[in-house]
Amino acid sequence: MIIFLLILSVIAFAATFVFAKKSWQTGLSIVCGCIFVGSIVLMTLNFTNHFGMKKVTEIATVELDSSSDIQGVDILLYQPLGEEEKVYVYQATTNKDATTTEAEHTVNHIEQGSDKATLDITTSYWDYKDSFYQLLFGITKGDGELIEITNDFHLPDSWEVVSVDQIKALQTVAKEHEAELETEAGQYIQEKMKASQPMDEAQQKKAIQQWTAEFQAQKMHEMLAEVKDK
């Protein structure tokens, strides 16, 4: 609507000013000129200071699965952008596809020590204060303009935050030591068996699965520490 007012005020001002012969016509041209100037001022305020708009904030929480299928360790991946900026690649439990955080207008926080892995996504954007301002400035399509996204990752202490390059290096190291790890895993399980109480077949099977997972987690964390130090 503001653009239509601007156009109509220009046309009306030109018509009344050029052909003005009476005082009321001159007065009308002044009114049209004021409407034109006012429209310019309001449009400028809308573009520069978001006049007629309000800040809207929405918060969504998603539960996370590991970003990598490496057994024994849960991982949140990130990709460095320049020296300090990063985008994170996370896997929501409700989505089969991995999601990458936005690179612009985005702040990411990592906090460890939580009971489970979750992500709080806080999105702030501009919207019209009411239907009047929407009618006035609606054609400029300023609503929905993103202000900022804040991603708060809450992770258990057991999770690792790893870059894409580091996870590739980890996969290479794990592949190189695959045979060695299998041998060590067998020895680890044998030692556990010797130190445990007698078990029936079902209990033994469950215990071996648990010990295997413990060994994998221990070794993956150790290899990740080595990869990160390089």
pLDDT digits (tens, 9 = 90+) for 174-198: 888 778 888 888 888 888 888 888 7
pLDDT band at 141 (very low <50, low <70, confident <90, very high): low
Q: Which residue has the higher pLDDT, 103 or 16?
A: 103
All residues at 6 or more sequence positions from 57 whose CB lies less than 8 Å from its CB, including other chains = 122, 123, 124
Q: What average pLDDT does range 39-65 have in this prediction? A: 87
* Residue 172, token pair as written in the block: 């290479």
pLDDT band at residue 86 under the 50/70/90 scheme:
very high
Round the average pLDDT of the chain to a whole number and report it.
83
Q: Whole-prediction pTM value?
A: 0.75
The listed range with the strongest mean pLDDT (23-27, 64-68, 150-154, 219-223) is 150-154
Alpha-carbon distances of 95 from 67, 75, 178, 182, rounded to whole Å: 12, 16, 31, 33
Report residue 12 as tokens. 């009306």
pLDDT greater than 80 at residue 152: yes
SS3 assignment, position 11: helix
For position 20, what pLDDT does the model report? 53
Tell me: pLDDT of 77 over 70: yes
The enclosing H or E element of 120 equals: strand 118-128
Mean pLDDT of 34-49: 78
Query: Comparing C-alpha atoms, which of 96, 84, 105, 115 is closest to residue 151?
Result: 105
Q: Which residue in the block uniquely carries the two structure tokens 């985005």?
A: 106
Q: Hey, what amino acid is at 116?
A: K
Kindly report the number of other CB atoms within 10 A of residue 91's CB atom.
23
Residue type at 19 in one-letter notation: F
Contacts of residue 218, defined as CB under 8 A and 6 or more positions apart, other chains included, come to 72
